[in-house]
Structure 1
């Protein structure tokens, strides 16, 4: 093989990311008169958290390059290969050693060249890509910590508290009746009652929940009830913050109860429950509006469950209801003038987006020239720190990067618009052939739902289906603000 393509996305939530990268790869291959003979895909893998060896498809690609079997590599952008400057430089040198022509398929990405100045440029870009990845991670972490410490976001609250979603500040609401029950639990343990005895007493007083010994232990050992919340991070120590509004017992009481509960914990090995082989076709679609949390498919019984409020939905009933509604809705829609109306708006929107893209590309080219001029100036001054050229480079790169993000978004929108007519036609053709619900279930139900349904919101007495564009209505691109 001579020409291959490499695609990567960090999470499965990045809709169309792999499809967009593939689309751009084949478009670039056509423009360069090449044929893509093999594709390497690392899906839902973070380049920031994994090395080259830990990415199976990238490792396979490198091996083939070292075997001198690859001449051309199509990849969307540098950050698809990695967000670590050492790894980036390592791959650059491998590409250079084996004379691999790297073709970046994103319109705004600067080309890779094999020279001393080229390597210097790749080191700089690698540093920027790594810094950008780290900054994104740190910004998210800092925002979480700031909201946590300021009281704006204490995280998922336990039994006895809820957030006022109608309030912009999402203030904490204390459910005093529930909290009095928790206080009683603490007092019962202090009186010498075991967790099992507490469970029996609480069950007789409150039948709204399925009280278990495990659940009661979890509540009694939760520091929230002494007014302390804990925020956990993946790669750094957890942080604690006092929330006085949450406090119902003092620290000494909480610690005493914690020890008593721990001492009474049964020392037995729990057998794992056998998982049921169930296909939850609505996983990722269903949300609990009460808790703003997703309903997750259970593997111990056929239900969708909200892990916060413990609400349960019968799997078969919910899926049948959603599929029947989707079937009737789309069938009715495709029999109207919807398709003709959609096609007219699709053509108009695509034209507006392409005009916007042309303006952005022109501006990006100007920014590229500025960046190259600043890099050349730095090279001529032998990388001394006695000038402010490096500051100009960083500033030029930031401006270019912002413009690249705009270009990437518009390109993605154009790609989605180009794919929509085929998708709508295929769904229309398929839906008109279906006579009953079983036919839809036998089809790749989740694929169909993913193209049609945006979300399923479950309220106390209603189930609200929200459809995706274009089935939900028409949206149109504009040229406001384009210069």
Structure 2
């Protein structure tokens, strides 16, 4: 790419008279307000002609991209070009600057280059290193103070205002979208697969006056996807493969994942699940509308089951964990070497086995057990444990674990309460400053800071509410505990394979197996605290 750029610019040899221009718009509204590419290009050409510079068409870089940044990412001249991956035309411009192909850069305003102070400073350093001067075509953007320090100060102030404006716009858009969702309106953007947008009023075409209506065919497809995930235990990729065979080459792993993770299918419009382009984090608690019965495709129980499966699979990072025919996979421990036994299918001739990963001098595994043999022994041993009358030690383990978690939750709750009080004090002080302040710009900054604190306050309150609810739980009585252990797997053999895997994953910590003189022995270690 670098070679192509250099070769395309060989006609410009007089660097001292050569200029480049950068043009950017991010929304249709900006075009309507006079920021159109045509307008920016015309002003850049007029500016270059007035200065007597050479501005060829191949030195004008134009793109329609947002000047978004990744929060918390540090910018420097070393990695600046890589940071601009979302703005390819600016990347080309920066590469040409590195080859010293031009002397002057013409931009309409500062915020066309960047809306981030950190990014703006990095760009300034980058261009200064290659002795490139930045010129702005809009009146008042060029600073001509005699004192360089004053120029620098005003440049930082103007850059800060550009960043502040971007953040303010973002907050207003989020507030508007949140208001739409709470009213049961679709906040904008493409509706999820399975729905069509329906105007609240037939004559109303406003963006925030749409709700969601179920598409009969697509909603049935969505139900099928959830059934594959919940009932058959298939992963995203395997569901996509199956859907492509049934409905054509449309489905991908990402498409399936986006459906499985979208709470909107429960009838509650879910917004702010993924953050935005400036905050690329996924939110655990999206904004939810009230229940829209006409937009419900799956019920709450199905959704909760999906959440549980996703959490378990994300920890295990094994898409076949629940669909494997080896129900003891990952739990069976060799007593000789204390390692997890591997699963191996040798085909019809030798069948399936669990084998130790440690090999002896002759190259064979220390312990190899047929799958059916060890799984039958597990079921027999499990029934003995659960039907055994004296479960004092098991109950004691459960009770101690419950108390440990309870105490940790109390400590964490105290920390959260301290944080909530601290934020509340800050909010009170800021409110007092807003009341006394006369400067409108400073007032706007203070209001913005207050809004950020309010958002943080709300998140801590949500965490506090969750902890308080968990602290209300009481440990099982000994009788209830024994009854729970005894009743759940009474018909273990009749359970579906997925349910067997779920039971083992939730309640069994490990299974230690040994073979002495062809006689198998087994010790099952349960995780009773999972009953909380």
The TM-score normalised by the length of structure 1 is 0.41
TM-score, normalised relative to structure 2: 0.38
